[in-house]
Amino acid sequence: MTEIIDFLFGQYKTYSLTDTTLEIIAVIFGFLSVWFSKQNKIWVFPTGMISTAIFVYLLLKWELLGDMMINGYYFIMSIYGWYIWTRKVDQTNVTGISTTTLKEKKGAIILFIATLLFVFIVYHYFNKWTSWVAYVDTITTAIFFVGMWLMAKRKIENWLFWIVGNSFSVPLYFYKGFTFTSFQYLGFTIIALFGYIAWKKILYKNQ
């Protein structure tokens, strides 16, 4: 049992109590954000902003640039999403769940490619192409950028990007030594599966 605990959490021996506490708080609010997203509740954004703000600080401190950029982008897109979700499309209704249009699909492709190029340039500038992790980081960053953009626009396809990106992140964060965050992404993957089903039911009901 001791060996298992050391394997999962041994890396935290070198972390400060403050950083470990902040990571746990960020994980809790991250779970709340994804859960509220599954429930189609506006609280997805304020809880997500708390989580991402903490992670931006921690990831900058740990020099994980790709992950830091993802969370910084999440924070900005949460402000945009908060506006979109509460914007009234007529006198009584706000923006509802919908499927992506052809124009939005083209936008998603452009955003994905642009993110790949941007992260490549940043990693090249800071000389971060030192292991396979950097390449996986680049791909997951692009996936998450598109997923967050679609979620902010309340598009059901956002869940598909979360499922793929979160699945990659589970072993990736464990390899990096952030067990709590790895568990977070495992939970995110499960919630994303149920989130897609829940949003699909709401979409069909509205139609």
Q: What's the pLDDT tens digit per position in 139-165?
A: 999 999 999 999 999 999 999 999 999
Terminal C-alpha separation, the chain: 52
More confident residue, 6 or 23: 23
For residue 12, the model assigns a pLDDT of: 66
Pairwise CA distance, residues 12 & 15, whole Å: 5
Pairwise CA distance, residues 19 & 29, whole Å: 15
Question: Domain limits at 73?
Answer: 2-88+97-206
For residue 11, the model assigns a pLDDT of: 66
DSSP type of residue 153 = T
Around Cβ 202, how many Cβ atoms within 10 Å?
A: 14
DSSP type of residue 62 = T
Pairwise CA distance, residues 66 & 123, whole Å: 8
Pairwise CA distance, residues 94 & 141, whole Å: 30
Nearby residues of 193 by Cβ (< 8 Å), 6 or more positions away: 159, 163
Count up the domains in the chain and report the number. Answer: 1
For residue 88, the model assigns a pLDDT of: 83
Q: What's the pLDDT tens digit per position in 67-94?
A: 888 899 999 999 999 999 998 877 777 8
